Amino acid sequence: MTHSRRWRSAVAALAACTMAVGLTGLGAIPDATAATAPRIDLNVLIVSDGTPWVQAIQQQLTSEGVPTTVVNLGDSSRPTITGSFLSGTLSDGTPVGYYQGVVLPNDAPSGLSAAEESALASYETAFSVRQVDAYLYPTANVGMNAPAYGGSLDGTPVTVTTAAKASGFGYLKGTYSFEGTPGGATSYGYLAQPLPNTATSTFTPFLTATIPGTATTGTLAGVYDNAGREQMEISFGYSNYQLQYRYIAHALADWVTRGVHLGYWRNYLTVDYDDVFNANAEWSQADDCTPGDSVCPPGTPATTPIRMTPADVSYAVQWQKSHNFELEYLFNGGASARFQVNGTDPLLAAYQPVASQFWWVNHTYTHAWLGCIQDLTVTPWQCVTDASGNTEYVDFNTIQGEIQNNVQWAQQNGIPTSAADFAPGEYSGLRILPQQPADNPNLVNAISQDGIAWVAMDASREPAMRPIGTALGLPRHPIDVFYNTATKADETSEYNWIYDSTADGGSGACQSTGNCLAPLSLKTGWSTFILPVQTRTMLGAVLSNDPRPFYMHQSNLTGDRLGYALMNGVLSGYRSVYASSAPIVNQRLSADGAALNAQDIWAQALSAGTVTGYIQGNTVTITGPSGTTVPVTVPNGTRIGSAKGATFGAAYAGEHSELTTLGSGPLTLVLGTTPYPSGPGTAAPTAAHSPLTRSTTAINARVNPLVVPAGPLGSAILKATG
């Protein structure tokens, strides 16, 4: 994009802001003192050119459940952005703005005409609607001097200014760093300084950093206010996966909507450890296999099964207390009998006095296979079929015994568990392609008869929630801390086998995807590569409004205690950036299931267009079918029904939010301020569009491919996220 086009756009925008009559079909702008306050629909306009920064903002809004309308600049059939596209009037003359915020690729996208830019400028000024310029080269068009630096921002420390904290960024402590090491190739951006403020325009830095080679502070993001029109300019590139964006993703959503929107945001982390009271087979470094659990070369010596000790229980109790974080255990009670000494299992005896300090989930009594009958004489295994070609499955009574015996064992031994939560061993019984394309019907019947509500699934196989009988399946994220390793050396050895080429001594499985890595040192590979990559992958999910749990195994809580190193990295990384007002939401599997189900239900409501909302003055009105659960985020001090009503929502990240259920009439919320004060006037365009329809209608919506950093880190992210 040329500078001449930018300056042409700036002149057009300035003219649009100062003229009494709009240039794109807007009618005359009425007196700012008009008695009828404008009405603003709860909907964000996204003008997309397919770049990763616009996609990142779109994905954040979608993940929170914020209604959006997407106009794709590359689509020849897209609507033209005019005054009538942006606003209208009700029959009583009330001005209506169809969008509460606007997201553009930059301040003057090449796919927009000058008339469309003028229409946006006029609309934003008239209705006090904010605009995010997703990534731009700093110029005077947005109140900035030319950049003093352009290049890699890897490892750059960033400061969140006081002004930013007062305007949506307050959940951040105040400093964080770009990913990578200085001079790396995973980020690029510009550092510039604002132009001096004038009587009609100001620039307020939100994110700053030191300009390399100087002691001077430059701006990475800030707000340009030109005669009441506010633009958030961001001068660095990013994708949805990069942490430097993930830290500010919600803040951008909050800023562009002035802190009032449909949607709900939390940072979730649940960590499950499977097979407690059981033992896991151990990886053989010498033979690159797992004796007793995989095909090994003839003569491979047996390895010692891995099982937690009483000392590991004491460590878990102390770790939870010191980190203010609770672990969830998936247990196999029937395995405990195999490890009794003089009639007592030392591990069970260690857990019984402290069992209430953990969450527990039924993982079947003996960790039995619950799917089809397996034919293991072929590789890969196949399901056995009868003479008619029908799949033969593990029977109903066997499955019932595995479920109910484990619950009874827990009750008898003081292990507090819920009969509503269930995780089949190895996810067996649930469909697995290509061998078993359907759930074992006997498992489905048992789940329904036993009143199970939540069933753990593998997110690498099935990332979306789905019904399983009368229950819902909750996907859990796997992590590359393997079930058959308890030491750093074993973990690194198996990692090398999986992710190295045959030429480097690995299995070569990576060669088909091109994701092979260089061999790691058995002494340092865990700490220098595996741990940082897995920590970053896990933290990325925490920062994505994703309630799906992560899971490892009891083997990772003994030996070198690999699971703790990973959790320590995630918790310390999070808490070094986020203020105490935005704690990690640590909850058990059933609560995660409820959160994910609520997201799915709301996405369906948005798609159906059954819920609408708007702001008028200091009042928010939300309408929809009775019984609909709606996610709502508002500023602190918001009241239900009237200024003297009950406080709305729960506090999180400096605001209040809640999943609220609509009654027979509209939900009315009264804010402490008027978030959309009219500027020089409120536009009253001539065209008539129904705001209740437009606020939930997506125009030319699409989801573009996601972008991840290049190199080994990106490969690892792609691998971990499937």
Clarify whether residues 233 and 300 are in a common domain.
no
354-413 per-position pLDDT tens digit: 999 999 999 999 999 999 999 999 989 999 999 999 999 999 999 999 999 999 999 999
- 24 HSE (CA, 13 A, CB side): 25
Same domain? For 21 and 99 the reply is: yes
Q: Do 74 and 175 belong to one domain?
A: yes
Tell me, what's the pLDDT at 706?
33
Q: What is the pLDDT of residue 24?
A: 34
559 vs 308: CA distance, rounded Å: 8
Is 702 a domain residue?
no
Q: Which of residues 460, 475, 490 is at a domain's end?
A: 475
Q: How far apart are CA 624 and CA 602, in angstroms?
A: 12
In a domain, 711, yes or no: no
pLDDT confidence of residue 677: 78
3-state secondary structure of 115: helix
* Whole-number Å distance between alpha carbons of 462 and 614: 37
Structure tokens at 440: 């074992």
Which tokens in the block code for residue 3? Answer: 């500078």
* Ranges of the chain whose pLDDT falls below 70: 1-35, 678-722
- Regarding whether 340 and 201 lie in a shared domain, the answer is no
Q: Given 443, 475, 507, which residue is the final one in a domain? A: 475
DSSP bridge partners of 204 = 223
Distance set, CA 221 to CA 134, 206, 256, 324, 599 (Å): 10, 6, 14, 34, 30
- CA 429 from centre of chain: 29
59 is a domain residue: yes
| 366 and 491, same domain (yes or no) | no
Are 613 and 664 contained in the same domain? yes
Same domain, 624 and 502: no
Q: How many domains is the chain built from?
A: 4
Would residue 703 count as lying in a domain? no
447 with 520, same domain?
no
B/e letters for 7-18, b = 16+ CB within 10 Å, e = fewer, are: eebbebbbebbe
> Which residue, of 199, 229, 258, is where some domain finishes?
258
pLDDT score for 678: 63
**Strands 229-234, 130-133: parallel, antiparallel or unpaired by DSSP?**
parallel
Question: Which residue range(s) make up the domain with 665?
Answer: 605-680
- CATH number of 43's domain: 3.40.50.880
**Domain-embedded: residue 691:** no
State whether 553 and 610 are in the same domain.
no
First CA to last CA distance, the chain: 36
Are 368 and 428 part of one and the same domain? Answer: yes
Do residues 239 and 273 both lie within one domain? no
| 410 neighbors 362 (Cβ within 8 angstroms) | yes
What's the pTM?
0.89
Q: Within a domain: residue 569? A: yes
- Looking at the fold, whether 383 and 370 belong to one and the same domain comes out as yes
Contact 35, 93 (CB under 8 A): no
Residue type, 206: F
Radius of gyration of the chain (CA): 28
In a domain, 79, yes or no: yes
DSSP state of 245: H
**Can you spell out the DSSP letters for 47-88?**
EE-S-HHHHHHHHHHHHHT--EEEEETT-TTPPP--HHHHEE
| Assigned domain for 700 exists | no
Q: Within its chain, how far is the Cα of 48 from the centroid? A: 21
